[in-house]
Amino acid sequence: MADESGSEQRMGDADALMWSIEKDPMLRSTITSVLVFEGPIDHDRLTDKVERASRAISRLRQRVMANTFSIAPPRWEIDPNFDLRYHLRFVAASGAGTMSDVLAIASPEAMSSFDLARPLWQMLVVDGMADGKSAVVVKLHHTITDGIGGVKLGMQLFDLEESPPADPGPVPEAPPVHVMSQWERVLDAWNHEQRQGLELATRLVPLTVGGLTHLVFAPTEALRRAREVTGSLGRLLAPANRPLSPVMTGRSLSVDLDTLSIPLADAKAAAKAAGGRLNDFFMAAVMGGLRRYHDEHGVAPESLRMGMPISLRQAGGGGKAGTEGAGGNQFVPTRFLVPLQIDDPAERMRVLHDLVASQRAEPALGLVDAVSLVTRRLPKAAQIGVLGGLLRTVDVITSNVPGVPIPLYLAGAKLEAQYPFGPRSGAAVNVTLLSYLDGLFIGVNSDPAAVPDQATFMACLRDGFDEVLKVA
């Protein structure tokens, strides 16, 4: 069921599962971004913009309401005490106002949990950086949206010119507030479960009938397909006892943030020289850096376990059935083994290209919603035990988010760079890439318990990117 802005009033099963397993704080799904601007940001203009956006996009004013005694997913409900001053704050840069000083401000933001009585996002404007620059640290919960959706949400705030028309028009009406009674919540949850059961039956009956028909008239093909799906599901949910890295084994609640930037044209040239794409370049560079890091520690594992979200959003902005707009998550999480000991960076790109293509073709990806529906109904301890066991054995998460190829402005300041820091959710490291204009901006979120020597790790990662750039 959707509200007037197209936002679902209840979480989907996969998002509800993501929300539920955060009972273990190590599995938090917090997305953090650091945006750097060439000049100062006008506080009054920005406050007006964010206020307008919060009225146009109801998710920005909604809090999560769960019912302990209900099996229905949590609801998104308008916060009756919404106060923009909590979500949008202004601070002065510390130290010399360098990027490192901004990351020192962003790191505790990324580590801290959300106030669950409020909407799950915050913006922190950092004034007074070196060379007259400023920065904005954005923090939001993954249940609000995924990386691509986050880019779309950001476009509600950005201008396409430095000085847009002075009169933006009347401020939209704030979304109506209704705090449900306990009886209303019980009834609403009951109706939701009935609708979901009917929808599930509507989807399963044709599949069951079709499957039985196929089994009768083409039994060999039907059994082959069943084996494929079962094998694919087994690979997707394969249990693991520990990370494959003998070095990056520790896990904690702390984060270390760092950044890299790469010219987009150079990266594309390297990928093209190997007959690949930008994502092949990115993954090959990350794996090259990880190989060097393990070499520094005197170990050489054959493979590492990688987590990677596969987006279901279509080029025209759509996604899987029933999802619209920028909000919500439209991706499937995957985890698979990636070879580490490939010397030739061009060959590494080709191998990783084929490996990712095989992941995108896994038949079980279409069953993720059904698996989430079943898993969400398990006791929370079982959810955390099963999924936490899978997530903590991931060595590295990589994510490639396409950004905007045109200049953007925020309250009078031109955007210079934007660094995304994806959630680790139990992994040792998350490396996320976001493109903007003619650059690639890479955010590295590492666990100091797994990577205590961050400077060494970043040097190895830079060498990994330099190595793949030389392919061109």
Q: What are the residue numbers of the active site?
A: 142
- Residues 410, 99: Cα–Cα separation, whole Å: 19
Tokens linked to 154: 């950001």
Q: What are phi and psi of 355, to 5 degrees?
A: -65, -45
First to last CA, the chain: 50
Q: Which residues pair with 159 in a beta bridge?
A: 409
Distance of CA 370 to the CA centre of its chain: 21
**30 forms bridges with which residues in the sheet?**
141
Assess contact for 299 and 282: CB atoms under 8 A.
Answer: no
Locate tokens 């596969």: which residue?
310
User: In a 10 Å sphere around its CB, with 0-12 CB exposed, 13-18 middle and 19+ buried, how is residue 65 labelled?
Assistant: middle
Going by the DSSP 8-state scheme, the letter that residue 8 receives in this structure is: B
CA dist., res. 174 & res. 258, Å (int): 38
The candidate with the shortest Cα–Cα distance to 279, out of 365, 356, 360, is: 356
Cβ density class 108-119: b for 16+ within 10 Å, e for less:
ebbbeebeeebb
Q: How far is CA 333 from the centre of its chain?
A: 10
Look at strands 88-92 and 121-127 and give their pairing: parallel
From the number of C-beta atoms within 10 Å of its C-beta (0-12, 13-18, 19+), residue 182 rates as exposed
β-bridge partners, 135: 36, 126
* DSSP structural state of residue 214: H
Q: How far apart are CA 21 and CA 28, in angstroms?
A: 8
